[in-house]
Amino acid sequence: QKEVEQDPGPLSVPEGAIVSLNCTYSNSAFQYFMWYRQYSRKGPELLMYTYSSGNKEDGRFTAQVDKSSKYISLFIRDSQPSDSATYLCAPSSGGYQKVTFGTGTKLQVIP
Amino acid sequence: EAGVTQFPSHSVIEKGQTVTLRCDPISGHDNLYWYRRVMGKEIKFLLHFVKESKQDESGMPNNRFLAERTGGTYSTLKVQPAELEDSGVYFCASSPLRTTSSYNEQFFGPGTRLTVL
């Protein structure tokens, strides 16, 4: 069983739509829950992170973590064509520990 | 400030040959990580250096892979001899040893795309 499960998509939405991206995980030691964004031929770039359970909002992006169900979500409001990328959920046990990636969901926002 | 750089950006070699990948972390970052993504799979951790010491090499697939970080600056990852299943994108990431944030963000390079024929 993979430590992090993520639907690879692809997901295609019209501009302005609300996007919901989700992951599940199995390792109870994970304390930090990151979302990375990766554009084609580029390295992953940290979008936002959440510590433990709860919500975190940053502009049009909201990250949610439910540790009781081991469920991670990222919501994108008013999606823009520039949001077209692969989104990777990536939990970690924290500190300087390795990051464990999901397979990534490829998102395309159609103008 | 320059980000993490990796060289080469793309390497095509034949099975059995040797390839060396290089990573230059962000200046002052003592933590250096190697990850790789093989076709259709998730990005997976290979190993973690703190300065010149290997902190965690639990993700190294086998002894054909050798990582070094002499002097605690840049790092190299050598694959010898390369096999077909080694094809993929190899990412390097770095982070500072101390941070004011509760999370120690890893900054990723653009990756080296390795193709073994």
pLDDT by residue (tens digit) across A6-46? 988 899 999 999 999 999 999 999 999 999 999 999 999 99
Token representation of residue B114: 């390795």
Instruction: Identify residue A65 by its one-letter amino acid code.
Output: V
Closest chain B C-alpha to A65 CA, distance in angstroms: 16
The pLDDT score that the predictor gives to residue B111 is 97
Where chain B has pLDDT below 50, the residues are none
CA-to-CA dists, residue B10 to B39, B42, B97, B99, B115, angstroms: 15, 19, 30, 33, 8
CB contact at 8 A, B97 and B50: yes
Residue B103: its H or E element:
none
The pLDDT score that the predictor gives to residue B1 is 66
Q: Chain A partners of B43 at a C-beta cutoff of 8 Å?
A: 44, 88, 101, 104
* Chain A contact present for B29, CB below 8 A: no
φ, ψ of residue A86 in degrees (nearest 5)? -100, 130
Query: What is the rounded distance in angstroms from the CA atom of residue A32 to the CA atom of residue A11?
Result: 25
| Residues 6 or more apart in contact with residue B6 via CB below 8 angstroms | B21, B22, B23, B24, B90, B91, B92, B109, B110, B111, B112
A48-104: per-residue pLDDT in tens?
999 888 899 999 999 999 999 999 999 999 999 999 999 999 999 887 889 999 999
Considering only CB atoms, A99 lies closest to which of B102, B106, B111, namely B106
